[in-house]
Every structure is written in structure tokens, then in C-alpha cells.
Amino acid sequence: MAAASEMKTSSPIMGSGLQPDGLAVRLRRRYFRTPMNAAISLAGMAVLLYLGFHALDWAVLKAVWVSPDGTSAVCRDIAGACWAVIQQRWRIIIFGLFPYDEQWRSMLACLVMIATIVLSCLPWFWKPLRLSSLWCAGFLLFYVLMRGGLFGMKTVLPADWGGLTLTVFLYAAGVLIGMPMAIAMALLRRSEMALVSRMTGALIDGVRSLPLITILFTAALIFPFVLPGWLQGDKIWRVIIGFALFFAAYQAEIIRSGIQSIPVGQEEAAKALGLSYWHRTGRIILPQAFRNALPPTINQLVITFKETSLIVIIGFFDILASGNAAYGTGEWSFAYFEVYIFVALVYFVFVFSLSRYGAYLERRMRFGQH
Amino acid sequence: MQIFRNRKTRSVVYQVAFLAVFALIIFGAVHEASTKLAAQGMTSGFDFLHKTTGFRIGFSLIPFDPFDSYLQMLWVGILNTIFLGILSIILANIVGLVIAVFRISSNGVLNDIGTLYIEAFRNVPLILQALFWYAALTHLPPPKLAYSFFDSVFLSARGVFVPSLNVEGKWFAAVALVLIVGLSVLAWFSMSRRFRRINRRGAIQIGIAGLTLATMAGMLVYAREPGSDIISVPALRGLNFRGGVAIPPELSALAIATAIYGGAYIAEVIRAGFLSVGKGQVEAARALGLSPWHVFSRVHLPLAIRAVLPTLINQYVWLFKATTLGIVVGFADFFSVISVSINQSGQTLELIAILMAGFLIMNNTLSFVLNRVNKAIALKGTQLRT
């Protein structure tokens, strides 16, 4: 309390503190406090306005939105953006190589997966039973829709999946498999048995000091060598396992640091009460550890979403690769800028909303914390 | 079952079981791999490293031609990765520091620019940004219509052409080594306690700097090709530029993308450092009458960097790993030479082993060196952080 009141008195510009200042006062304080400050503000605003106007001029005012005849002729001599490329090629960007007549399935599956992700952000679902049944249902529905072969739907093998749907699928599957792996690895590393904790530690540190591409590459190339035929599965599953392992190695360290920030007394009290290891871990340690580790976990989830884009290197047709393909024809090769901006916007929407959600959770968590 | 109740016995049993499962998996994998290799009639071993590759590489720091061996190609890849990694870390650090200063400045517009920058570039994958810059750089005008700055720097679709020194690569490396040694000696002399009592430190510092510069100049004059200028300026000859040095678009695209993307992350780390410096420290510096620049450069910045150096080191190591995107734009880094070698020679397992070992060594060396630096400059003892 003392510190808070001191901070208030030490800054005379804070106002009376009784009622919030008006907009004009706040604006003046933020941008025009001293003459020097005002000069910098004006210069900065000029630069921003200049850039903003040019961006607007290019992206909206002088842009061409549709191509009536399906060719790039409308974009020949324009000074603005050629959004017609998106209008013409959006299907390949979003759905990849999925058969044209079946693309409604890919669309629906993508929406199912996004809905599952969004629903699991709601606190109501944060019970083990609810969360696991939600994900089982979501995954099952997604898989049936994408693969087909049931209810008269044509079978589409994973090799033909692509675009945004593949990106979302890879992300969800990687995190879903990676999270239990991460918990197991964190607990094993904390084990009192020296051999177990050392070996898990070596695995985690090894994975963490390799770039993700090398792990995906290894998973795609090495598994066919070292696994017997009945264990191999489709290429996409091998890559998902590699992806999950990478996520798990980072997430395990986050969970471990969450566990370490719990006062030792908690575990000792649980032991004194005679709780078994599983009860201690499941009821006392892990819930608190997850709460402590929530901000870095969200951060890791955000990074992981961006890193799904690396599968383009091992030959998958995710949204980035299909974006490349969308402008890769001779017809549209000049429109790389528009396509990349579109793909970047799609990523931005996902990543930005995820990180905003993380910030909201952090604020929410502060209540009820002692 | 009485014996299983004993905690020690149980622990031994568990560990033996763990080890057995692990050994079984390894054994199964090796067995499977060797039967498959035998079935395909492939030879294992590292003899292929001495075969010629028949491959051409766009950018390499050491000489390489198609008659050289795989080993030489791997060296090219490793050096390119290290070069690009260090270049990216330095550039990202500069960008990050500028944006962090924007973010903590008392000016609203600068804050907004910083926030805008971070939100725009941190939320888009690095690989997309690299592809974007590569596309943008290769869509620049051809050499004949290149953008030119002072008639010595040219931007064209073939790359960026800048003036260079007219000496051979190895001499250039030697000169760079002299520069690094000179700077290290200077830093050691200035910072070490051992020399604190010496009189006329300024004169000795100037002496060290002068000696370094003189050695460098002497080496350059000695090493240049006889009868040519020391500095070679690029000039248009026919359809391409001659002279100077060409920075290929592959390299610039990756360096720009990592500098921008990594800069956004590093900015947030440095900003956290600035915020963690106690208000009292800055106020005390102001009260002593230091100028704003001195408050920033002698008090605020050093304390901020020391506070977040461990985080920053993790960030550098992460950035170093993140630069291995050469394969998407055709830059011959370690990963992409391994990938090419696997396609060419078919020695998958050996090359993957080299790939992993190489990255483990490089990353652990980097973090070891940086952690030593951290230990050397960390604040000793406790301090009041208010």
C-alpha cells in the first residue's frame, strides 16, 4: 500500500486521482508534454500518416477487387493492389489440392476444428472429462469429414489434404499429442530416480537444441527406416509425432518451472496427509503448476502455431505452400505481394487472437490469487 | 511382495525396467534399419564424404566447385549457417534495441510505432516473411535498371552490389581476425581491474587502437593484387556488375527477415529489462546531474541488459536455430546442404547423424560462450532494486 501511494504522489501529473481525466488532457499528456516531445510526436505522426495514406491508397482506393473474365488482364496497368488474385485463387489457398467438388467438406472440417479450439478456451470446458470428450468429438468429426469413405462421401487420402485446413489440423493434432507427452516428460524429469530424470533431461535438452526443421525432416526420413511396416502409418502422422515431440520438449520445461514455483510445503502437506503419488500429482501439484505456467504456455502455443508453417519444407501443402502455388502460375506471377499479404493476414488473425486471449487469461487469473 | 514395498528396491526395479524398454526400442530400431539397408543393398559408413558432389553452390565463404567433396560442401554449409546466424543476431539486436527504446520512451507516437511494429511482425511466421522478402528482392529491376546510391551501391534482382576491398578471402579473414583481437585487447584493458591504477590509460588505449589499425592497413596494402586499387567499386559491364561484392538475394532475404522478426522478440525482452531497472537508480543518476544521454547509456541501459541477459541469451540461441530456413530460398546453409546430400548420395542415416551432431555442437557452443559472457558481466552481490 505504501508503495502505491508513494508512486501516486511522486508523479505530479497523475491528477487528483479522484476522477479520470478527460480525453484532451490524456492526449496532451501522452503526445505533447514538452515542446521537444511535441516536435517528435508531430514528426512521427507525419511519417505514420504518409505511410498510412500510401498503404490505404494502394490497398483500397486504387485496388482491383474482381477479375470478371478470370484472367489477370484487369490488373495490367494499375497502381494499386490486385486483389483479384485472391478472388480467383482463394480456393487453392484455403483448401490446397482437395478435390474441387468435395471442398465443402474441407471447409466444414476446418470450421469444426476452429470451433473445438475456441470452445476449449471457455473456462466451462476446463474439466478433464469435458475437455477430453470435446476434443474426441471434434477430432472424430474432423477426420470423418476430411477422409470420407463413410455415408457415401468420397475417400480423400491425407496426401491430398491442404491449405488452411491442413495447418489447423497439424496444429491441433500436434498440441493434443504433445501436451500429455509434455506432462509425462516434466514429471519424469522431476523423478527422484537419477537414471530416469537424467535420460529424460537429455532427451528434452537434445530436442530443444535442434531446429524444428531438422526434427520434422528426421521424423519424415528416419521413421521409415527404423520402424517396422505395421507401425509406420501415413507420412502426415510421422510428421505430427515429430511436431508433437518438439512442442512437448518446450512445454515440459514450462510445466516443470510451473511445478517448481509451487511452495514445497504443498507437496509435503499432501504427503503428510497420506495422499498417494497420483493423487498428489493430479490433485495438488499439476493444477497449481498449470495455473502458474499459463502465460508461458499460451506464448508457446502461439509460437507453435507459427511454426506449423515449416512443414512446407518437407513437402506438405499447407497454407503457405498453397499461397506460393496460388501466384506460381505465369498468369498471376506478379501478384506475390497480394498473396503473401493475404496469407500473412490469415496467420495474423489466428496468432493475434490467441495472444489476446492469453493476455485476457492473465488478467483473469490475477483475481483470486493470494 | 514384501520386498516390493521397500522404496529402494522398487526404485531400482523401475529404473531397470525403464532402461530395458529404452534398450529394446534402440535395439529394435537398429535391427530394423540394418535389415532394410541390407535389403536395399546400401553400404553404410562415411566413405561417401570424400566423393565429389558435382554440385554448384550460390554463396559460400570458402572456395567450392563441383569437383569438391561432400565434406567440403558440409563445411560450406556450416560456415554459411554460422555466418548468417551471427549476422542475424547482430542485426536483430540493433532493431530490437531501437524498438525497445521506442516502446519505453515518454513520447506517445514513438510508443505507438513500437507497438505497431511488434504486433505486425511478431504475429507472422518467419518463413513467410523470408519468402516475402525473397520474392520482393528478386522482383527488383534487372542490373541495367538497378537502383543506385552514390554510384557505388546498387540494388538489382541479381542482388545488392556494394564496394569491397580488393584482397583475397583469406587475407580478408586475417584482417577481420586482427580487428577482433585488437578490440578484445582494448576491451580487456579498459574493463579489467588489473589495469585500473595505471596512469595515462587514455594514451595506452589510443596506442592499442592505433597499432591495430596500422596492422590492418599494412596487411591490406601488402595483400592487394599488385597494380589495383584497394577498394573495388561495382560497375555495370554488359548485363551484370563487375567488381565490388555481390550480396545475393537469398542471403539478404533471410538476414532482413530474421532481423525484423527476431528484432520484435528481442525488443520485448529488452523492454522488460528497462522496466525492471529500479526507478531510484535512474532518479539518482538524474539527481547527480548526468545528462539524459549519460543516464541512458551509463545507468539505464547497462542495468537493463544485465537484468535480462539470461533471457536474451535464450533468445539468441533460438534465433540462431530459426535462421535455418535457407532451403526455402535456396541459400546453402547446413540444413540445405544436408538435404541436397541426402538426395544425391542416399546416405540418409549418416547425414542425419551429422546434421544432429552439428547443430548440437553449434548451439551448445553458442550458449556456452554467451553464458560465460553473462557470468563475467553479471552484477555481483545483492543490490537494492528500487
pLDDT(B267) > 80? yes
**Which residue in the set A48, A210, A310 is minimally distant from B127, CB to CB?**
A310
Is B124–A347 a contact, with Cβ atoms under 8 angstroms apart?
yes
> Shortest CA distance to B130 belongs to which of B339, B334, B359, B330?
B330
Alpha-carbon span A17 to B335, nearest angstrom: 59
Cβ-Cβ contacts under 8 Å, A355 against chain B: 123
List the helix and strand counts (H, then E) for chain B: 14, 8
Give the homologous superfamily in CATH for domain B45-163+249-386: MetI-like (1.10.3720.10)
The residues near A334 (Cβ < 8 Å, ≥ 6 apart) are A72, A75, A82, B139
CATH architecture assignment, domain A85-366: Orthogonal Bundle (1.10)
pLDDT at A1 over 60: no
The reply to whether residue A351 touches residue B112, judged by beta carbons under 8 angstroms, is no
Q: Which of A140-144, A245-249, B375-379 has the lowest mean pLDDT?
A: B375-379
pLDDT digits (tens, 9 = 90+) for B154-186: 777 777 777 776 666 677 778 888 888 888 888
Query: Residue A9 has what pLDDT?
Result: 44
Predicted pLDDT of residue B4: 66
What ipTM was estimated for this complex? 0.82
Residues of B in contact with A212 (CB under 8 A): 321
- Contact B125/A352, CB-based, under 8 Å? no
Share of chain A above pLDDT 70, in %: 91
- Residue A58 contacts B, CB cutoff 8 Å: no
Confidence of residue B384 (pLDDT cuts 50, 70, 90): low
Of B18, B106, B352, the CB nearest to A196: B18
Q: Is A351 on the interface with B (CB under 8 A)?
A: yes
The mean per-residue pLDDT over the stretch A249-259 comes to 91
Q: Judging by DSSP bridges, how do beta strands B235-237 and B153-156 pair with one another?
A: unpaired
| Average pLDDT, rounded, for chain B | 82
- The per-residue pLDDT of chain A, averaged, comes to 80
What cell was used for A140?
472424430
pLDDT at A370: 46
Q: Is A320 on the interface with B (CB under 8 A)?
A: yes
Q: What is the pLDDT of residue B262?
A: 93
Contact B131/A228, CB-based, under 8 Å? no
pLDDT at B228: 66
Task: Count chain A–chain B contacts defined by CB atoms under 8 A.
Answer: 141
Res. B311 pLDDT band, cuts 50 70 90: confident
> How far off is chain A from B168, nearest CA to CA, in Å?
34
With beta carbons under 8 A apart, name residues in chain B contacting A309.
125, 127-128
**B106: which chain A residues are within 8 Å (Cβ-Cβ)?**
33, 37
Residues B315-361 pLDDT 10s: 898 898 888 888 888 888 888 888 888 888 777 888 888 898 998 99
**Cα–Cα distance, B282 to A315 (Å, whole number):** 53
Q: What's residue A248's pLDDT?
A: 94
Which member of B33, B106, B363 has the closest CB to residue A225? B33
Quick one: closest CA in A to B17, which residue?
A196
Place of cell 521409415: A224
d(CA B347, nearest CA chain A) in Å = 11
> Which carries the bigger pLDDT value, residue A64 or residue B111?
B111
Condensed to tens digits (0 to 9), the pLDDT of residues A20-30 reads 677 788 777 77
Q: pTM for the complete prediction?
A: 0.83
Task: Say which DSSP state A158 is in.
Answer: G
Over residues B71-102, the pLDDT tens digits come to 888 888 898 899 899 899 999 999 999 999 99
User: Within B224-331, where are the H helices?
Assistant: 249-276, 279-287, 292-294, 301-322, 326-329
* Range from B32-36, B38-42, B261-265, B351-355 that averages highest in pLDDT: B261-265
User: Which of A205, A308, A313 to mutate to probe the B interface, most B CBs <10 Å?
Assistant: A313
Task: List CB contacts (< 8 A) between B37 and chain A.
Answer: 225
Place of cell 497502381: A79
Distance from CA of B91 to the nearest CA of A (A): 20
CB spacing of A33 vs B106 below 8 angstroms: yes
pLDDT surpassing 50 at residue A73: yes
pLDDT at A8: 43
The confidence band for A250, taking pLDDT boundaries of 50, 70 and 90, is very high
Name the pLDDT band for A158 (thresholds 50, 70, 90): confident
User: Which residues in chain B have Cβ-Cβ distances shorter than 8 Å to A196?
Assistant: 14-15, 18
Which pLDDT does position A17 carry in this prediction?
53
Confidence at B30, pLDDT banded by 50, 70, 90 = confident
CB contact under 8 A, B107 and A320: no
Nearest to A332 by CA among A345, A323, A344, A343: A323
In Å, how far is B273's CA from the nearest CA of chain A? 18
Which residue, B53, B54, B59, B62, is CA-closest to B329? B59
pLDDT at A356 over 80: yes
Q: What dihedral do alpha carbons B26, B29, B33, B34 form, nearest 10°? A: 50
pLDDT in tens, A97-125: 777 777 777 788 888 888 888 888 887 87
Please say if the pLDDT value at position A183 is more than 70. Answer: yes
Residue B306 has pLDDT above 90, yes or no: no
pLDDT at B348: 80
Q: What integer is the mean pLDDT of B231-246?
A: 72
Asked if A213 lies within 8 A of B324 by C-beta distance, the reply is: yes
- Cα–Cα dist B359/A206, whole Å: 10
Q: What residues in A contact B120, CB-CB < 8 Å?
A: 348
With CB atoms and an 8 Å threshold, state whether A347 touches B37: no
Nearest chain B residue (CA) to A318: B128
What letters, b where the CB count within 10 A reaches 16 and e where it falls short, cover A253-273?
Answer: bbbbebbeebeeeebeebeee
- What is the rounded average pLDDT of the residues B208-224? 83
| Residues whose CB falls within 8 Å of the CB of residue B100, separated by 6 or more in sequence, listed in order | B114, B266, B267, B268, B270, B271, B273, B274
